């Protein structure tokens, strides 16, 4: 049982990013800790630009994720449309 995770600073932008993650990864668990939000999921998780843009109501570049990012666990793959975190085993 390997969990991938992402932690974001708790702020207005992250709120929408987390909403998007929840929508695209219905089994993900969201944990609120002081000043941060940790989202974890079994094996893989995906963050889609389109869903985040929909939640924010504006254009958003995936690289902008770095501004609010605290940490990640898992193998990363990123292109302009999505970022995925996976464990292979």
Q: Which is nearer to another protein, 30 or 67 (CB)?
A: 67
**By CB under 8 A, is residue 70 in contact with another protein?**
yes
Is residue 7 part of the contact set for another protein (CB under 8 A)?
A: yes
Q: How far is the CB of 86 from another protein (least distance, A)?
A: 9
- Gyration radius (Cα) of the chain, Å: 12
Span from 15-23, 32-40, 50-58 in contact with another protein (CB under 8 A): 32-40
Q: Could you tell me the CA-to-CA distances from 2 to 18, 43, 44, 74, 76 in Å, in that order? A: 21, 6, 9, 9, 15
């Amino acid at each position: 049982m390997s969990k991938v995770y992402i932690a974001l600073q708790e702020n207005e932008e992250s709120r929408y990013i987390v909403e998007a993650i929840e929508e695209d990864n219905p089994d993900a668990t969201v944990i609120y800790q002081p000043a941060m939000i940790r989202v974890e999921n079994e094996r893989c998780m995906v963050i889609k630009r389109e869903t985040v843009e929909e939640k924010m109501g504006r254009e958003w570049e995936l690289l902008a994720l770095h501004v609010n990012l605290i940490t990640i666990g898992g193998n990363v793959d990123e292109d302009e449309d999505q970022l995925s975190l996976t464990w292979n085993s």
